[in-house]
Amino acid sequence: MLILLPPSETKRPGGRGRPFDAASLALPSLAPQRDAVVDALVALSADEATAARVLKLGGTQLGEVAVNAALREAPTMAAVDRYTGVLFDALDAASLPAVARRWLGAHVLVHSAPFGPVGALDPIPAYRLGASASLPGLPALKRVWAVAVADALAEERSRFVLDLRSEAYAALGPVPASVPSVYVRVVSEGEGGAVRALNHFNKHAKGALVRRLAEERPRVGSLPAFERWADRAGIRVRPGAPGELELFA
């Protein structure tokens, strides 16, 4: 099984790892796109005012421009530790035993805007860039990433993909039809069985789900196998729209 997660806007600073190396990350075929986006982001950051406008940064966020300017030299840390926020706080990877963290490294990709999908334990620097940003000198990020990421994921066609990304990040790299996959939406059930999508609890439910998977490390090679595991684990899921699965929070 391969799990795709969205990133978070909030990140831990610092790190101790070696500087960013595009080819050393998961899906190394994406190195040219990674280098192109990072180069554009670093170049943009040479002008604080322009960078703040392009990245839609407020006055208290101008320090993010310097963070981006240092991308090539900055220390790194594992992606699953770099990101903070609701999803990653619920996952709480730092508190997992070593065997569970290794499972994350083998089974989880976090889809970032500047680096594309990276392994959970891949070393990445801090940065500021969202899926909707448009960088000077580059096409829209969807044009940079979508085909390249889909082609890279096609090489994983023997693995069932559980897609937990937001729609914005799923658009940066659709899972190709040749790969068995399902897109997960988090929902709640109200009075009379009415189902509604969730926002804050959407992220928490996804983080908690991945933590549970890392703790139990089931062998899941298909959607039916995932559904059987979820049933045994007391996690309620059901088919949604075509190609989608509803996860009840």
Q: Which CA distances in Å does 235 have to 79, 189, 226? A: 26, 14, 10
The mean per-residue pLDDT over the stretch 60-73 comes to 96
Tally the domains of the chain.
Answer: 1
Q: What are 30-56's pLDDT values in tens digits?
A: 999 999 999 999 999 999 999 999 999
pLDDT at residue 158 above 90?
no
Q: What are 207-235's pLDDT values in tens digits?
A: 999 999 999 999 999 999 999 999 999 99
Q: What is the pLDDT of residue 168?
A: 96
Close Cβ partners of 169 (under 8 Å, ≥ 6 residues apart): 6, 7, 111, 113, 131
Q: CA-CA distance, 65 to 179, in Å (whole number)?
A: 38
* Residue 95, amino acid: S
pLDDT at residue 196 above 80?
no
Residue 172: which domain range?
A: 2-248
Phi–psi pair at 99, nearest 5 degrees: -65, -35
Bridge pairing between strands 237-239 and 244-248: antiparallel
Q: CA-CA distance, 135 to 37, in Å (whole number)?
A: 8
Q: What is the pLDDT of residue 201?
A: 86
Query: Within the chain, where are the H helices?
Result: 31-44, 48-54, 63-69, 79-82, 86-91, 98-107, 141-154, 167-170, 200-216, 223-233
Q: What are 110-145's pLDDT values in tens digits?
A: 999 999 999 999 999 999 999 999 999 999 999 999
Q: CA-CA distance, 220 to 2, in Å (whole number)?
A: 9
pLDDT at residue 244 above 90?
yes
- Evaluate if pTM is beyond 0.85: yes
The mean per-residue pLDDT over the stretch 61-86 comes to 97
pLDDT at residue 191 above 70?
no
Q: What is the pLDDT of residue 197?
A: 74
For a pLDDT cut of 70, what percent of the chain falls above it? Answer: 97
- 143: exposed, middle or buried (Cβ count in 10 Å: 0-12, 13-18, 19+): exposed
For a pLDDT cut of 90, what percent of the chain falls above it? Answer: 92
Q: Which CA distances in Å does 111 have to 22, 116, 153, 196? A: 14, 5, 12, 25
pLDDT at residue 193 above 70?
no
**Long-range contacts made by residues 194-197, C-beta under 8 angstroms, separation at least 24?**
195/246
SS percent in the chain: helix, strand, coil, step 5:
45, 20, 40
Q: CA-CA distance, 147 to 175, in Å (whole number)?
A: 10
Reported as a pLDDT band with limits 50, 70 and 90, residue 73 is: very high
Q: What is the pLDDT of residue 195?
A: 74
Please, what is the average pLDDT of the chain? Answer: 95
Return the structure tokens found at 226.
């995932």
The mean per-residue pLDDT over the stretch 164-184 comes to 97
Report the 10 Å Cβ neighbour count for 158. Answer: 9
The mean per-residue pLDDT over the stretch 53-73 comes to 96
Instruction: Choose among 85, 111, 92, 152: nearest CA to 4.
Output: 111
